[in-house]
Structure 1
Amino acid sequence: MSWGAEQQGQGHDGGYGHGSGYDGGHGQGPAYGYDPGYGLPYDRTPSYGQPTAYGQAVSYEEPVSYEEQWQYVPGPEEPAPTKAEAEAEAEAVTTEAAATEPPPVPSPPPSPEKGAGGARDRYFDALRAVALVRVVTYHTFGWAWAGLVFPSMGVMFALAGTLMAKSLERPAIGVVRSRMRRLLPPFWFWGLLVVLAMMIHGWMPGWQIVFWIVPVGDPPGDQWGAQAWEILWYLRTYLWFVLLSPLLLKIFRRAPVPALLVSLVPIVVFQYGWQPPYDRFGSALTDLATYLFCWLAGFAHREGVLRRLRPSAVVLASLAALAYGGWYALAHRSEFGTYDLDEIPLAQAFWSAGFVTLLMCFKAYHDVDFAWLARFERLDRVVTVFNARAVTIYLWHEIALVLAVPLIDQFWKVPAFEKWLPLESQWFMFAVGWVLIWIAILLFGWVEDLAARKRPRLLP
C-alpha cells in the first residue's frame, strides 16, 4: 500500500477527538441549572414558660418536646377529626402549597456537543463511527471512490476541531496537556509492540526513534512493518493541530470568515507554487495544509459562525468547493494514476472542505442530534464503543487486517471451511478483520481508560 494511499484513508479522533478522540475524543459536562428553592425557615419555637394548649403550663424542670408543645388536643365539645377529614385537610394543604410554589429556574440550552438533558450528541458520535468504518473498508478493498462518498479524514479533523474549541474555554496549557495525555499512552503501548517486532526482524533504529515518543514527525520503521506504522501520519497531524489550536482559535475569532477562506490558500500554493520537500517536514506541512479548513470548520461550528451566515451562500460555497475538488481529481487522473483523493492533496482539501461544511451546516441549521439512536439499543451501543475506543480501533485495524490473511490461510486446511466458507472473498477477510479488531478492543482498549484517568473497562 503506497504512502499516499495510506495518508488520507484513516481516521480517528479519534478525536481524537479523539477524543476520541474521536477527546478520542471525546467528554463534556451536563447542562447546568438548579432549583434553589424559595421556602422560608419555619421557626415556631415557644419561649420558656409559655403555656401549651388548653392551659397546661410547662415548667423549666420539665422540658417538653416540639411535637408535644404543638400537639392538637380536642376539647370535649369538639370531637377528634375522622380519618377521611384528616386526609381531605392534608390534600387541601398540599394543593395550596403547589399553587404558591415558585416556578423552577430554567436550565441553559445544552452545548453543541450535547443533546437534550446533557447527553452526548449522537450526530457527532455517529459521524465518527462511520468515519472509522470507512477507514477499515478502504484499507480492505482499496476503493478509489471511497473518499468521494465519505471523506473520513476531513470529517474526523472537523469533529476534533469542534471539541478542541470547546475545550479551549479552559486554560490552553491544561487543555493541550490533557489532549496529549489521552493520545500518547495508547500510542506508546501500541508502538512498543510494533518497534519490538521490527527489531526482531532486523530493524536498526537511529536517533529518529524519538518520534516514537512524541510523534511530531513521522516515526521511522522498516518495510516489514510499513503497513502498521504508515497510518501514524494522522496522529502526527492531529498532534500539531492540538499544539497550534490556541493560536489558531485566537486568529479565527478575530476574523472567522476570512480565516476559513484563507485556510485553503496554503494547499493551493503547494500545488501551483512552492512544493514542500518529500520528507518529514514536507509531509507534515502538506497534511496540515490539506486539513486546515476542516479543523477551522470545527471552530466555526462551535463558535456559532455557521448559524449566523446565510444558508444559501454557505451551501453554494460548499457545492463550489466540492465541484472544484471533484473536477481536479478527475481531470488529473492520468497525472496521478488515479482519482483517489488520498493521492491528490489539492482535490482532497477542497472536496473535504465542501463535504464537512455541509455536514456542519446541517447540524447548525436543523439542530439534529440523532437521539433516535437510543431506540436501537445494539446500534447505539456500537456507536458508544466506537467513540470510546476510537484510538484503539485506528491503531490496531491495520494489524488486524494483516493478521487476517495468515489466519484465513489456516482455514483452507479444514475441509468443511474450504467447502462452505468464501475464503477467497475480500468480504470474508473484511469480516475476519473486524473480529480481530473487536478482540483488540477487549485486550487493549483499557489503555484509553487509563489515559483518560478512568477506571479500566473491557467495554465502555
Structure 2
Amino acid sequence: MAKPTGRTLAADATADRRPPPPPRGGRDRYLDLLRALALVRVVVYHLFGWGWLTILFPSMGVMFALAGSLMARSLNRPALSVIRGRLRRLLPPLWFFAAVLVPLMLYAGWNPARDPDLGGLTGLPKLLDYLVPVGAPPYPEHLGSDSGLLDPTWPDDAAGPLWYLRAYLWFVVASPVLLWAFRRAPWPTLLAPLALTAVVGTGWVTVPGETGEAITDFAVYGSCWILGFAHHEGALKQVPRYIAVSSSALLMAVGLWWASGHRGPDGWDLNDIPFAQATWSFGVVVILLQYSPSWTELPGRLRRWDGPITLANNRAVTIYLWHNALITAAVPLLDQAYNLPFMQSDTATSLLDKTYPFWTFAVVWPLIALAVLTFGWIEDLAAKRKPRLWPNGRERRRSRAL
C-alpha cells in the first residue's frame, strides 16, 4: 500500500472539516434564506434610501459571500468550464436588460458619441460592457428635464446597480487562483482584500477613474467572497465560535468608528465609506456563516415563506437587474393617483405626499413580479433548463407530497 503524502493527509483533513452538503440536487435553505433577505433589503434600500440599512444587513457582502461559496463548490470541476457556466448564466439576462435600457436612453436623447463623460468617439467601445461587463456599463448621469415623465436621473437609477455585475465577473474569473491561494495560505488570502481596502478605501492611495472603482469594489468585497470559500471548505468551523464572534465584533467596531469620522452625504450609509463597508460586512458575514445550519428544508414558521424564498433564488439576477428601473417606473404610475376624483382635497393630497414612499413600495412588487414573468425565463435558458414562468418550488413540493 502506498504511503499517504502530506498533501493527501491535508486534503483529507480539509474534507473532514467541510459541513455535510445538502442532498444531491438539493439546496442549502439557510443560504437561500440569506440571499432572499439580501435581495429584499437591496430593493428597500434603493426605494427609501435609508443609510442605516447598510448597517442592519450588509446585503452586498452577504451576496458576494454566498456566490463565493457556490463558486468554491463548483470548482471541483475544471475551472474553465465553471467560468463559462457562470458567465453563461449571467450574460443573457444582462443582454435582455440592455436591449430595453439602451434603446430607451437613445430615444430619450443620449448620444454616446458626444457624451463627454464617455469620451466621445473613443469611448464608444465601452458600450461593449453591456455585452460582457468587464467594466461598469456606461450611461448618462442626466437625461430629459424636470418636467418630463421620469426624473432626469432615471438612467443612473436604472443602470447604476450594474457595477455589481462587473465585480461579480472579475471575482468569477479570479476564483480559481483565489481558491488555490486560500487552500495554501488561508489567513493571508482572506485578509489581503481588507488590507488593500485600508490602502485604497481610506484615501491613503487614490486610483482615479473606473479602474479605481473596480479595485475598490474588489477590495471591499473580496474578503466576503473568500469567506464563502472558507464556509464551503469548512475552515470557519475550525475557528472557535467565541473567537470568531469576538474578533468580528471588534472589527465591526473599528468599521463604525471609522464611519463616525468619515460620514458621507447620506450620513451613516456605508456605501459611501469603503473601509467601514469592508470591515462591517466582513464581520457580519463571519457571524452569519459561523452559525450557519445546513437546512434541507426551512424550519418551523419559516416554512410558510418557502415559495417566495425559492422564487427569489431562482430569479435573483432578474430581480437585481430590474428592481431599480422598476422603482423609477413606479413613480409616474403612482402619480396618476393624484388625478383620482377623491384625491382633489388638500387633506387627501397631503396624506398621499406623506405616505408616497410606502405606496411606491406597494406598487413596485407587482412590477417586479411582472418582470419575473416577462424576463425571468431567460435565466432558465441560460442555465440550460426548461423555461418556467413562476419557479417557486410548488411542483417540487407537490411531487414530494405524492
> Structure 1 length as normaliser, TM-score?
0.72
Q: Could you tell me how far apart the structure 2 residues matched to 1:332 and 1:241 are?
A: 28
2:392 is the counterpart of 1:392: no
Preserved CA contact (<8 Å) 2:62 2:285: yes
CA-CA distance at 1:417 after TM superposition = 6.6
2:140 is the counterpart of 1:210: no
CA-CA distance at 1:337 after TM superposition = 5.8
CA-CA distance at 1:405 after TM superposition = 0.7
Q: How does 1:240-259 map to 2 (within 5 A)?
A: 240-259=170-189
Q: Could you tell me how far apart the structure 1 residues matched to 2:190 and 2:303 are?
A: 38
Q: CA, structure 1 residues 291+381, in 2 after alignment: closer, same or farther (shift >3 Å)?
A: same
Which of 61, 83, 97 is matched with 1:154 structurally? Answer: 61
2:219 is the counterpart of 1:312: no
Which of 159, 166, 177 is matched with 2:84 structurally? Answer: 177
Q: SS at the partner of 1:203?
A: coil
Preserved CA contact (<8 Å) 2:129 2:135: yes
Report the counterpart of residue 70 of structure 1 in structure 2: none
Report the counterpart of residue 349 of structure 1 in structure 2: 278
Superposed CA deviations along residues 116-163 of structure 1, whole A, max 9, x for unmatched, are 676311100000000010001011111110000000000000000000
Which of 427, 431, 434 is matched with 2:358 structurally? Answer: 427
Q: CA, structure 1 residues 144+376, in 2 after alignment: closer, same or farther (shift >3 Å)?
A: closer
Which of 274, 277, 293 is matched with 2:205 structurally? Answer: 274
Preserved CA contact (<8 Å) 2:298 2:306: no
Q: Could you tell me how far apart the structure 1 residues matched to 2:300 and 2:249 are?
A: 32
Report the counterpart of residue 375 of structure 2 in structure 1: 444
Q: CA, structure 1 residues 185+324, in 2 after alignment: closer, same or farther (shift >3 Å)?
A: same
Which of 104, 107, 110 is matched with 1:200 structurally? Answer: 107
2:268 is the counterpart of 1:339: yes
Report the counterpart of residue 221 of structure 1 in structure 2: 139
Superposed CA deviations along residues 296-341 of structure 1, whole A, max 9, x for unmatched, are 10000111111112222212211111101111111222x6562210
Superposed CA deviations along residues 218-273 of structure 1, whole A, max 9, x for unmatched, are 11111231211111000100000001001111011001122212231101111253
Q: SS at the partner of 1:412?
A: helix
Report the counterpart of residue 369 of structure 1 in structure 2: 295
CA-CA distance at 1:196 after TM superposition = 0.4
Preserved CA contact (<8 Å) 2:256 2:280: yes
Preserved CA contact (<8 Å) 2:231 2:289: yes
Report the counterpart of residue 322 of structure 1 in structure 2: 252
The one-letter amino acid of 1:409's match is D
Q: Could you tell me how far apart the structure 2 residues matched to 1:412 and 1:273 are?
A: 50
Report the counterpart of residue 218 of structure 2 in structure 1: 288
Q: SS at the partner of 2:291?
A: helix
Structure 1 unaligned blocks of 5 or more:
1-107
Report the counterpart of residue 48 of structure 2 in structure 1: 141
Superposed CA deviations along residues 184-203 of structure 1, whole A, max 9, x for unmatched, are 00000001110000111121
Q: CA RMSD in A?
A: 2.2
2:31 is the counterpart of 1:124: yes
CA-CA distance at 1:113 after TM superposition = 8.3
Q: CA, structure 1 residues 374+393, in 2 after alignment: closer, same or farther (shift >3 Å)?
A: farther
Q: Could you tell me how far apart the structure 2 residues matched to 1:370 and 1:170 are?
A: 23
Q: Could you tell me how far apart the structure 2 residues matched to 1:272 and 1:226 are?
A: 25
Q: Could you tell me how far apart the structure 2 residues matched to 1:442 and 1:418 are?
A: 35
Structure 2 unaligned blocks of 5 or more:
1-14, 113-123, 144-154, 392-402
The one-letter amino acid of 1:386's match is A
Preserved CA contact (<8 Å) 1:113 1:120: no
Preserved CA contact (<8 Å) 1:336 1:344: no
Q: Could you tell me how far apart the structure 1 residues matched to 2:388 and 2:20 are?
A: 24
Report the counterpart of residue 333 of structure 2 in structure 1: 407
Q: SS at the partner of 1:163?
A: helix
Q: SS at the partner of 2:352?
A: coil
Q: CA, structure 1 residues 174+323, in 2 after alignment: closer, same or farther (shift >3 Å)?
A: same
Q: Could you tell me how far apart the structure 2 residues matched to 1:189 and 1:112 are?
A: 38
Q: Could you tell me how far apart the structure 1 residues matched to 2:386 and 2:338 are?
A: 42
The one-letter amino acid of 1:340's match is D
Which of 160, 163, 174 is matched with 1:230 structurally? Answer: 160
CA-CA distance at 1:291 after TM superposition = 0.4
Identity, % of aligned positions: 48
Superposed CA deviations along residues 193-219 of structure 1, whole A, max 9, x for unmatched, are 100001111212322111111111011
Q: CA, structure 1 residues 368+439, in 2 after alignment: closer, same or farther (shift >3 Å)?
A: same
CA-CA distance at 1:374 after TM superposition = 7.5
Q: CA, structure 1 residues 233+112, in 2 after alignment: closer, same or farther (shift >3 Å)?
A: farther
Q: Could you tell me how far apart the structure 1 residues matched to 2:365 and 2:296 are?
A: 25
Superposed CA deviations along residues 85-141 of structure 1, whole A, max 9, x for unmatched, are xxxxxxxxxxxxxxxxxxxxxxx99x8585467631110000000001000101111
2:92 is the counterpart of 1:166: no
Report the counterpart of residue 72 of structure 1 in structure 2: none
